[in-house]
């Protein structure tokens, strides 16, 4: 029986893995060797299943984080677009005031002879 270990040391996370292999005793019979191989295959299958589960959980976490980030960015983009639109157009009330001054200006520009006669 052999034991192998490994470690992964990241910033604040410590993670370790270990696995055990079953070996046949000295001068094994064919049945003993087959039994050891069957135990090793079962152990390997369990390790693969555990790693797949861990990967699926990690991918799920990353997918959720990316979705959250995308939603946050979309909301911020929408707010920024609204701010740009408001600053570019100046709002409806400013446009209405501009239109009313334009109307007054056109009316007064055509009334110049009448105003001159009235004042003169």
Structural domain boundaries in the chain: 2-89, 92-120
pLDDT for 23-51, tens place per residue? 778 888 999 999 999 999 999 999 999 99
Distance CA 96, CA 71 (A): 36
| Radius of gyration over every alpha carbon of the chain, rounded to an integer in angstroms | 40
- Residue 108 CB partners (closer than 8 Å, separation 6+): 115
* Sequence-distant (≥ 6) Cβ neighbours of residue 38 within 8 angstroms: none
* C-alpha span between 52 and 3 (Å, rounded): 22
Cα dihedral 66/68/73/74 (nearest 10): 110
DSSP 31: H
Determine the pLDDT at residue 111. 80
pLDDT score recorded for residue 105? 87
Contact between 6 and 17 under an 8 Å Cβ cutoff? The reply is yes
Question: Containing H/E element for 7?
Answer: strand 2-9
Per-residue pLDDT of the chain (120 residues; tens, 9 = 90+): 555 555 555 566 777 777 777 777 888 899 999 999 999 999 999 999 999 999 999 999 999 999 999 999 999 999 999 888 877 766 677 778 888 999 888 887 888 788 778 887
pLDDT given at position 65: 96
Q: Round to the nearest angstrom and report the end-to-end CA distance of the chain.
A: 119
Q: What is the pLDDT of residue 80?
A: 94
């Amino acid at each position: 029986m052999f034991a192998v270990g490994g470690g992964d040391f990241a910033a604040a996370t410590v993670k370790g893995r270990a696995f055990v292999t079953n070996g046949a005793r000295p001068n094994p019979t064919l049945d003993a060797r087959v039994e050891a191989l069957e135990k090793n295959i079962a152990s390997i299958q369990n390790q693969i299943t555990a790693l797949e589960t861990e990967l699926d959980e990690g991918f799920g976490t990353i997918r959720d984080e990316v979705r959250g980030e995308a939603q946050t960015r979309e909301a911020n983009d929408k707010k920024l677009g609204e701010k740009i639109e408001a600053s570019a157009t100046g709002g409806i009330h400013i446009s209405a005031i501009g239109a009313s001054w334009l109307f007054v200006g056109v009316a007064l520009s055509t009334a110049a002879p009448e105003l001159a006669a009235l004042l003169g």
